[in-house]
Structure 1
Amino acid sequence: MTPLTVTNSRLLPARRNGYRSALRDAEPKHVNPIIRAIGVAVPDESVSQHRAADIATELIASSERQQRAIATLYRRSGVETRRCTVLEPQRDAEHAEQSFFEPRRSASDGGPSTAERMVRYEQSAGRLAAAASARAVNESGLLPERITHLVTATCTGFSAPGFDLGLIDALSLSRGVQRTQVGFMGCHAGLNALRVAQAYCRADANARVLVCATELCSLHFQYSDDPQTIVSNALFADGAAAAVIAPDRSRAASGDGCDRPDWRLADHASLVLPDSADLMSWRIGDNGFAMTLSPRLPDLIAEELAPWVDGWLANHGLRRSDVGSWAIHPGGRRILAAAAASLELTADQMAPSEQVLREYGNMSSPTVLFILRELQQRRAQLPAVMLAFGPGITIEAALIT
């Protein structure tokens, strides 16, 4: 209880409680919107982590020490394969090649300029977003023109017109679709986009919201032998994920014939940890966007995550043991281990998140939707909790029932 709360409770305890009761009685009874479908897409070409380490060595390593560091950090990443838009067609992931990045010519060489990377982003992001969105809309059973709202998320590129406008033509969406962009929030932005979609659905019983998170992280490979930069280079990949969200009543009214089980967006929560802003950053530089990632971050998550999650779940009459499944953003192998230790989760509970990290890498904002899709395919038990982490340090959560 804050000092202000204490003061107010002393001055007006009866009236304050009365107001609370009246407000509760006046609150509308919201129907939790349903996730009608999730669609995902990745670039066609893949690279094994062993080959990715070789490519990184060719680009930036100038000593045996640097070569060993790259090999070790890539091997420990928990990633086996990644999909990247900069890769050229090849016969398999072990023979991946690329020509967008050239070997470092001097200590000051940072690789392609930010402008050059943004040109590649604008060329490639729209195709990936359209592929994921088309799959989500098709699986939802809705006609594209019935989508009323479009919520997009990205932090790896900028252009105007952006891929959100491109989706109108690519999917034949209504010219009157209402657009919202969740920009530059980082790995947890997929959850922020779902929160916006939930709000639209609760405000409008006729809303049908398409959410699309698209990232091309591979464009921001950094020419640095700093260990934390190497870790970032070893983790990040490209992908897009889309979801169609609609109020529960829209299914019966639409006559679209969806018969899959309902997964409902019940609640969201957010926490910015104090005195942690220096532990993670994502900043625009002259040679792409640069991430800093402190090795202290996993310890902070291990310490802070469980008490906060427990308090939030208690608001819904739930305990951790009541949660049937978990979708935890794989910010890295140590991040997942810290979350598992804090929440006391089993290997089976962590398996979907670890599988997505292993097969796709960290795709930033779409990644948690890849995990949620994996849970659906496994027919995982509900309720489910989604968790993601980003600069701040911010923890975002969603409850699916």
Structure 2
Amino acid sequence: MINPNCRSSDRCEASLTLPVSIHSLATATPLHVLDQTTGAQVAEQLLGGAFEDFARLRAIYGNAGIEYRQLARPVDWYTEPRSIVERTAVYLEVALDLFIEASEKALAEAGIAADEVDVIVTVSSTGIATPSLEARAMGRMGFRSDVSRVPVFGLGCAGGVSGLGLAAKLARVGQGATVLFVTVELCSLALRTENVGKADIVSTALFGDGAAACVIRAGDEGFTQIAGSAEKTWADTLDIMGWQMEPAGLGVVLNRAIPAFARKEFRGAMEEMLAPQNLRIDDVDRFVCHPGGAKVVDAIEAALTLPQGSLNEEREVLRRHGNMSAPTALFVLDRVRKEGLPPLSVMAALGPGFTASTVTLRSAA
């Protein structure tokens, strides 16, 4: 368990220097699959009347780099108006099921039981659950009654990376604590059919639903070590990405300038975040990035001066799942680690704030 009142300075200092490792990584998606052609047709049916030029906007679906996405409900469910009560009921049901599926897979891979978990960090920004998801999962999973619960809301697309960094810090100060990190997002529940704008067209072309989970522990070896983490938040950028509350629920805020912003700002931000770790961009063998969209992936490659195609695993996750918000970066990490992680990798994501987040990974060559 985490002990915030550590009384031995030597013991506290020793715990802070222990390596923190990821011991397992698992992903989960809902069963309902939406192909992009059908998605464009349904969007035109629901949203097309709000735009005189929807035929031109329809090209967004073809240019998104996405073939399939997974949704919390069958596509027909989204064609009817849904209240915030209905959306919340679906969130509580489906998000909990995905939380448990991803968690059970991660625990099984790590070879530990649920009652061996000391801390649970849950990141989710697409629904409201109080009690939070890990509390709702306790009876079904068998977590101990004294497990520490850390639910985190509002990180959006950066949540997979920021949450992983937070989980690593808790493992490091926890004197050998086992931390389960879980992120679940049901982006499809934010579909709105009233007062729609172009951001809604982009979101219906881009977002899907999914979950991921990791087991993190200090003091022994996993498949990679978390060597550091960092964040940078830009001033006066609250309008770039996020949610606004509406009568039907959460409405998307998504600025079309994100790819241009990333192209201009991301390299400098990365240099700032790596410098305290005595690292430079050229030291990194592989960037593992959240694929916010096809244009965002292109912009990150350009900003970091990476060879074209360096982020093809990111594009493949986007093609198969769309942007699932926070879990997406972990889907990419899962693909990269199965190929073999190089000695030094940096996970990176952009999210509401507007914030860039990184986690530095060191693995055996």
TM-score (norm 2): 0.90
| Residue identity in the other structure for 1:389 | L
Give yes or no for contact 1:57–1:70 (8 Å, CA) kept in 2: no
* CA displacement at 1:162 relative to structure 2: 2.9
- Which stretch has the larger CA shift, 317-326 or 263-272? 317-326
* Contact 1:154/1:189, CA 8 A, preserved across alignment: yes
Match in the other structure for 2:76: 98
Equivalent in the alignment of 1:36 = 23
Question: Which residue number corresponds to residue 107 of structure 1?
Answer: none
2:176 alignment counterpart: 206
Matches within 5 A, 1:2-401: 30-62=17-49, 65-87=52-74, 97-102=75-80, 111-223=81-193, 225-249=196-220, 262-401=223-362
User: Structure 2 CA distance, aligned partners of 1:278 and 1:235?
Assistant: 19
Q: Distance in 2 between matches of 1:69 and 1:83?
A: 25
SS at 2:90's partner residue?
Answer: helix
Report Cα offsets for 1:150-195 as digits up to 9, x if no partner.
0101011112233211222222221211100111221111222212
Stretch of structure 1 that moved more, 55-64 or 353-362: 55-64
Match of 2:34, SS state, is: strand
Deviation at 1:313, TM superposition (A): 2.4
**1:100 offset after TM fit, Å?**
3.9
Cα RMSD (Å) of the superposition?
1.9
Between the two proteins, what is the percent identity of the paired residues? 29
Residues 98-144 of structure 1: per-residue CA shift (max 9 Å, x gap): 23432xxxxxxxx3122221111112111011101110000011122
1:64 deviation in Å?
8.4
Q: Which runs of 5+ in 1 are unaligned?
A: 1-25, 88-96, 103-110, 252-260
Paired residues of 1:276 and 1:393 also in contact (CA < 8 A): yes
Contact persistence 1:267–1:398 (CA under 8 A)? yes
| Inter-partner Cα distance in structure 2 for 1:98 and 1:162 | 28
Question: What amino acid does structure 2 have at the position aligned with 1:50?
Answer: T
Q: Which whole-Å deviations, capped at 9, do the CAs of 1:180-235 have from their partners, x for residues lacking one?
A: 01112211112222122112211122200001100111111122552222101211
Q: Judge conservation of contact 2:50–2:196 (CA < 8 Å) in 1.
A: no
Task: Kindly provide the amino acid, as one letter, of the partner of residue 76 in structure 2.
Answer: Q
How far apart are residue 395 of structure 1 and its match?
A: 0.7
- Give the number of aligned pairs: 349
Poorly superposed stretches of 4+, deviation over 3 Å: 26-29, 63-67
Which residue number in structure 1 is paired with residue 4 of structure 2?
Answer: none
Q: Which residue of 2 aligns with 1:17?
A: none
Q: TM-score, normalised by structure 1?
A: 0.82
Give distance in 2, aligned partners of 1:222 and 1:70.
17
Aligned equivalents of 2:303, 2:130: Cα separation in 1: 42
> 1 or 2 for the larger relative contact order (CA 8 Å, sep ≥6)?
2
Distance (whole Å) between structure 2 residues aligned to residue 183 and residue 235 of structure 1: 21
